[in-house]
């Protein structure tokens, strides 16, 4: 059952990733262009050039904000990574080893569990 649920989750995450692949590429390109605009703005000494880089930066920033929902695609890629990582994990995380302890509360809980079997 665990593998089936992981498979369904992976299938949904894959479809979400594929749907958001285009916006993810545009988001990466626009973030790169924003970086270039910022670097050119810092390097230039001319006021007119600084105004031009600011205007271009605002235009690229609007493109970046229009593709911000591509973060959903990044989350889907991360979900796919987690599903791939947990695919071969054991089905049960319950510890079956009983530790002998002199603590009265631990002994009571163990004996109560044995009586209720």
Q: What is the DSSP string of the chain?
A: -HHHHHHHHHHHHHHHHHHTHHHHHHHHHHHHHHHHHHHHHHH---HHHHHHHHHHHHHHHHHHHHTGGGHHHHHHHHHHHHHHHTTTS-S-----PPPP---HHHHHHHHHHHHT-
Considering the domain boundaries, does residue 51 fall inside one? Answer: yes
Whether the predicted pLDDT of 38 surpasses 90:
yes
Q: CA-CA distance, 102 to 111, in Å (whole number)?
A: 13
Range of the domain at 70: 2-91
Over the chain, what is the mean pLDDT? 85
Span 73-87, mean pLDDT? 89
Q: Report yes or no on 73 lying in a domain.
A: yes
pLDDT value for 97: 60
Q: Is residue 82 part of a domain?
A: yes
Is position 100 within any domain? no
Asked which of 48-52, 75-79, 87-91 is least confident by mean pLDDT, the reply is 87-91
Residue 103 lies in a domain: no
What is this structure's pTM? Answer: 0.62
Residue % of the chain over a pLDDT of 70: 85
Instruction: Tell me if 40 is assigned to some domain.
Output: yes
**Number of structural domains in the chain:** 1
Q: Is residue 106 part of a domain?
A: no
């Amino acid at each position: 059952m665990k593998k089936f649920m992981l498979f369904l989750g992976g299938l949904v995450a894959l479809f979400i990733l594929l749907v958001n692949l285009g916006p993810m590429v545009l988001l990466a390109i626009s973030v790169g262009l924003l970086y270039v605009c910022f670097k050119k703005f810092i390097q230039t000494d001319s006021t007119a050039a600084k105004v031009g880089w600011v205007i271009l930066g605002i235009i690229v920033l609007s493109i970046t904000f229009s593709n911000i929902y591509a973060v959903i695609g990044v989350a889907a890629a991360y979900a796919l990574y987690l599903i791939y990582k947990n695919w071969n994990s054991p089905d049960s995380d319950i510890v079956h080893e009983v530790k002998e302890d002199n603590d009265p509360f631990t002994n009571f809980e163990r004996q109560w569990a044995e009586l209720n079997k």
